Amino acid sequence: MAKNRKSGDGLIRRIGNFNIYQRIDRHGNWMIVENLIKSWQVRYRDDNEMYSLLMFVLSFKDEIVDSYLERFIVGGYFQTNHLHDWLCMTNGGEKDGNGDVNYLPFFTAYWKLIDDEAKREAGYGEKAGKDEDEKALEEAVLSENLIEEMKNIRIDEDGTVHER
């Protein structure tokens, strides 16, 4: 379990489900990344390259940069908490010609997933066709109509519905 925050800690930013703190103590300056429920954290001292990298990335106040940073943190969270799951990581535990476990299938799929998501967010993915656009528009109109109808009714505690 992560330790409670101390008075010398300063929250730099919340990225998704993670907080990034800076701590200054007698051992140096630290960059601390932890999940919101404080069950996981990773710390980098100021003589670590990751400390400088995080400070640089956090200097940008941009949603796109934050989304990439969140993916980076989630990747680290996943790897530090799930490396023991050999079947997931190794495509069933297959071994290569040297008898070593082959990690390539998992990592190829993992990075493809991240790349595809980044491309979709950046607008490089496949564009929705006319049918998908019309369906999305119909769903939006239906949703708006339902919201308007809900404004005109009142539901009692016993479940009885009344029009206003």
- The model's pLDDT over 109-156, given as tens digits with 9 standing for 90+, comes to 777 777 777 777 776 655 666 777 787 788 888 878 777 777 777 777
Report how far residue 164's alpha carbon sits from residue 162's, in angstroms, rounded to the nearest whole number: 6
What is the structure's pLDDT at 33? 93
Q: Is 112 helix (H, G, I), strand (E, B) or coil?
A: helix
Name which of 51, 66, 81 is nearest 18 in CA terms.
66
Residues 34/41, Cβ–Cβ less than 8 Å: yes
Mean pLDDT for 35-57 is 90
pLDDT value of residue 100:
65
Inform me whether the pLDDT recorded for 85 exceeds 60.
Answer: no
User: How would DSSP label each residue in 47-105?
Assistant: TSHHHHHHHHHHT---HHHHHHHHHHHHHHHHHHHHTT-HHHHTTTT-B-TTS-B--HH
> 11-45 pLDDT, tens per residue?
888 988 899 999 988 888 999 999 888 888 899 99
Q: Which residues pair with 9 in a beta bridge?
A: 23
Number of H helices, E strands in the chain: 5, 6
**Using CB atoms within 10 A of its CB, is residue 103 exposed (0-12), middle (13-18) or buried (19+)?**
middle
Mean local confidence (pLDDT), 35-59: 90
pLDDT at residue 45, as a whole number: 92
Most confident of 53-57, 95-99, 131-135: 53-57
Separation CA 124–CA 108 (nearest Å): 20
